[in-house]
Amino acid sequence: MNATIFVFMVYVIFLCSPLPAGAEDGSVPDKNVATNKTVRSAADAECVLPTTTAAKNEFGWEFDPYYSNLSFTIPLTDAPIPEVTGKNEFAIYRQLFKNVLVPRFILLEAAVFPMPLLGVGAKKYTPEIYRAFNVGTSDLNLLEAITAGFQEPYAFSLFIGDMVSFVKPGEEKVCSNKGYMGYLFSYSNQHIKRNVLIPDHNLESEWKLKGDRVFANEKLSWSFRVGAKTHENPDISNTVYLGFRRSDLDFNSAFLSFLDNSSIDFRWDFSIKDGRPLRQEYTIGKKFPISKWRVAMRLDVGFIWEDPATYSGRLHDTDHQAIMAVIRPNIEF
């Protein structure tokens, strides 16, 4: 596990390191170090464009088969949300990091996870149909695989921190084009275990860095978070976790491009009690853009590993299955 954590941290540091001048468009950087520093500093200075209007309350929404939400943003100061242009998003997050100790915005969110709820409903109310998705005599159930990976059916969240708005010259501003860094607190009163609802008042507290850049021909999103989750139900282990996600969509790239239009997402959960690894989730995805329709077909695949110690008491399984498949087909607009 130590080796795995080391590889992961090297990967994150590589992604989050400032890019050399010229590297963003594929050109070879100048070997003159002093020149590169000058160019990079100039790019950082031009990255944030201040607005002239005062900050206002904003209402937003997002609808997706796996994650749908309604949100409301409340500014804590009269300063507007800074507008950001250019490709150097890492310079933007260096600025956000400077402001993280002095929160300037509050975001309230109510989220629901439709596909996981579908899995819960199918297993409870139509068990015959649910069992029809079993693959032969194996432990694989396709409906469980399609709806796996979400531990709550819904959640209510409070974010406190700083944010920026991504803009692109010549394109209309999009409400969801935001970058965030700060503290997130989420609450739910239900827990999902293999498509079974379990009463449980649970609370997540995390530090989060998140961004969504949505433009006419491209979409880039990423998230890095470190947090803890506690449960009122004594049969569910309390955990600390580390999560990372990055996803991109480019309508101008080749339909079968290997590296473009891909995603990676993983999360590790450890026991608060003794640091024991309790849960690991790994998914990779591929998108197939259809420029004519401005949509992309998407397929994420992976697996979830759970230690038997994740659940105890009445929730402990004598025939515990450590591995659960993840299959998530979707359409991205």
Highest mean pLDDT among 2-11, 19-28, 60-69, 112-121: 112-121
The sign of the CA dihedral 135, 141, 142, 145 is negative
d(CA 117, CA 298): 21
Distances (CA, A) of 206 to 7, 117, 226, 229, 298: 22, 24, 5, 9, 28
- Cut 0.85: pTM above it: no
Q: Is the pLDDT of residue 310 over 90?
A: yes
Q: Is the pLDDT of residue 186 over 50?
A: yes
Question: H helices then E strands: how many in the chain?
Answer: 6, 14
d(CA 81, CA 249): 25
Q: Is the pLDDT of residue 125 over 70?
A: yes
d(CA 216, CA 279): 37
The pLDDT of 185-207, averaged and rounded, is 97
- Across the chain, mean pLDDT equals 82
Residue indicated by tokens 């029809």:
132
The pLDDT of 157-165, averaged and rounded, is 91
Question: Rounded to a whole number, what is the largest CA-CA distance in the chain?
Answer: 68
- Residue 249 amino acid letter: L
Q: Is 234 helix (H, G, I), strand (E, B) or coil?
A: coil
d(CA 291, CA 6): 39
Task: Read off φ and ψ for residue 88, nearest 5 degrees.
Answer: -85, 70
Q: Is the pLDDT of residue 215 over 80?
A: yes
Q: Is the pLDDT of residue 94 over 50?
A: yes
Residue 185 near residue 163 (C-beta atoms within 8 A): no
Question: Which tens digit of pLDDT belongs to each residue from 31-78?
Answer: 333 333 333 333 333 344 444 456 788 898 899 999 999 999 999 988
The pLDDT of 128-150, averaged and rounded, is 94
